[in-house]
Structure 1
Amino acid sequence: MSTTPHRQALVIGASRGLGLVLAQELTRRGRHVIATTRRHGGELQASADASQGRLRVESLEMTSVEQLSALRERLGTCRIDLLFVNAAIDRGNLPIHEVPTDMFTQVMTTNVLSPLRTLEVLRELVVPGGTVAVMSSDQGSVSLNTEGGYELYKASKAALNQLMRSYATRHADDGMTKLLIDPGHNRTQLGGPGAPLEPEQSIPAVVDVLEAQAGARGLQFLDRHGESVPW
């Protein structure tokens, strides 16, 4: 793939929910967008078909090292100004001592290891001064963890935040903006039907934050209003 003059974003995990609306919103604002999904078809492909070439769908199972390497090869010399990793699973509200080992491994692999591995594999595609961002949650805030429930999910987001700190330290001099984003509690498959927000409400605000923070140095953990979330 040849270098493109357009502002271009790569959204990892865009088949539904927050990732889908993020890819659609970035496209609506004039970016060319590459969006990944584990399964072809559905609303993401329909959006791509209607985008006049501004939205492109790529296949990726993020937890697969082989598929991640294949995506990197397919993208070739593509240059992007925004790399956004959006992927998370939840496996219910069990106290941690009742969580089976295979469930713990699956959640931590999907929510923690795979996003950081994805950043490392794809970060060289990001132009100087570009942004790398990961969808986090205030559920990963240690200082805000004052209510019970969802211990494994909270632990995975806290671990994600910690490893993103390590990533930012390791790449402190690369000139890229680094963001952890808390989009709020949304009505998605993950957030559940009782959540107070719709992705169509929260994601435009998230994109406002991404645009406002472009060029900022260091790592920030921000909510959809651009306010800092306590670590």
Structure 2
Amino acid sequence: MSTTPRHTSDPASGRHALVIGASRGLGLVLAGELVRRGWRVTATDRGSGGELRDQADASEGRLRAEPLEMTSPEQLAALRERLSGDRLDLLFVNAAIDRGNLPIGEVPTGMFTEVMVTNALSPLRTLEALRGLVVPGGTVAVMSSEQGSISLNTEDGYELYKASKAALNQLMRSYATRYADDGQTKLLIDPGHNRTRLGGPDAPLTAQETMPAVADVLEAQAGAPGLQFLDRHGETVPW
């Protein structure tokens, strides 16, 4: 399903987004893009300073940085408590790690667990912990990848990463089924292959190119029912 972008940049619009995983790369650029469009944004990093904190300091209150190690249930609960008075129009979870291109038979158990916990379990724990802050008609969205598409898995390689994104998609499907009547839009977003630490230096896209398109999709889909798996153009990605 293609979308018609809605570029709303009125600073008085009052829209509030929480972007989980904005230390660098796609999450950092998405947070900045939403601020540019007039959103009030809370974004998380691991609390070590850096570019997100610098942007927050320069944002005149439009961007607030919060510490979070997303794989820690204790830190997630603490963030929920700190944000207890907030109401969100958008909750966006961005998290992924990659541990190389090993065939699955060579993947150590610890590596498998680390990737699955970070890429699949933790994003859904985050949604469960924070969904109560999202207003009726608001959006919960997770950064996925076309590499999580089973039907598109026709090329060799990156078996563990692909499996973790497929697991993420399946867990998001279960989440959407469980909360089918909550009135919230639910999205899985494939941003394409970007030149980030995860995507590598030879990727064809940059976050500065793709995150405005992703923001277009998020804004255009606000209020849409059910769960959709969409790319940065708003087109459906096959499961």
TM-score range, shorter chain: over 0.9
- In structure 1, list runs of 5 or more residues that go unmatched: none
Q: Deviations over 1:17-43 (max 9, x none)?
A: 000000000011001100000133211
Q: How does 1:108-123 map to 2 (within 5 A)?
A: 108-123=116-131
Hey, what does 1:145 align to over in structure 2? 153
Mapped partners of 1:75, 1:40: distance in 2? 20
> In structure 1, what residue type is equivalent to 2:227?
L
Count of equivalent residues? 228
The CA deviation at 1:6 is: 1.9
> In structure 1, what residue type is equivalent to 2:154?
T
Mapped partners of 1:201, 1:21: distance in 2? 10
Q: Deviations over 1:103-162 (max 9, x none)?
A: 000000000000000000000000110000000000000000000000000000000000
Are residues 1:42 and 2:59 paired? Answer: no
Which SS does the other structure have where 1:143 is aligned?
Answer: coil
Hey, what does 1:25 align to over in structure 2? 33
Hey, what does 1:73 align to over in structure 2? 81
- Residue among 67, 77, 90 paired with 2:98: 90
- In structure 2, list runs of 5 or more residues that go unmatched: 1-12
TM-score with structure 1 setting the length? 0.97
Mapped partners of 2:181, 2:141: distance in 1? 17
- Residue among 164, 167, 183 paired with 1:156: 164
Hey, what does 1:224 align to over in structure 2? 232
> In structure 2, what residue type is equivalent to 1:155?
A
Indicate the percent of aligned positions where both proteins have the same amino acid.
80
The CA deviation at 1:76 is: 1.4
Mapped partners of 1:45, 1:38: distance in 2? 11
Mapped partners of 1:176, 1:54: distance in 2? 24
Hey, what does 1:185 align to over in structure 2? 193
Q: Deviations over 1:35-59 (max 9, x none)?
A: 0001332111111011000000000
Are residues 1:57 and 2:52 paired? Answer: no
- Residue among 198, 216, 219 paired with 1:208: 216
Hey, what does 2:178 align to over in structure 1? 170
Mapped partners of 1:184, 1:55: distance in 2? 26
Which SS does the other structure have where 1:24 is aligned?
Answer: helix
Mapped partners of 1:99, 1:124: distance in 2? 37
Aligned-residue RMSD, C-alpha: 1.0
Hey, what does 2:8 align to over in structure 1? none
Which SS does the other structure have where 1:227 is aligned?
Answer: coil
Mapped partners of 2:48, 2:59: distance in 1? 16
RCO greater where, 1 or 2, for CA within 8 Å and sep 6 or more? 2
Which SS does the other structure have where 2:65 is aligned?
Answer: strand
Mapped partners of 2:136, 2:218: distance in 1? 16
Mapped partners of 2:95, 2:38: distance in 1? 24
Which SS does the other structure have where 1:82 is aligned?
Answer: strand
Which SS does the other structure have where 2:135 is aligned?
Answer: strand
Mapped partners of 1:20, 1:212: distance in 2? 21
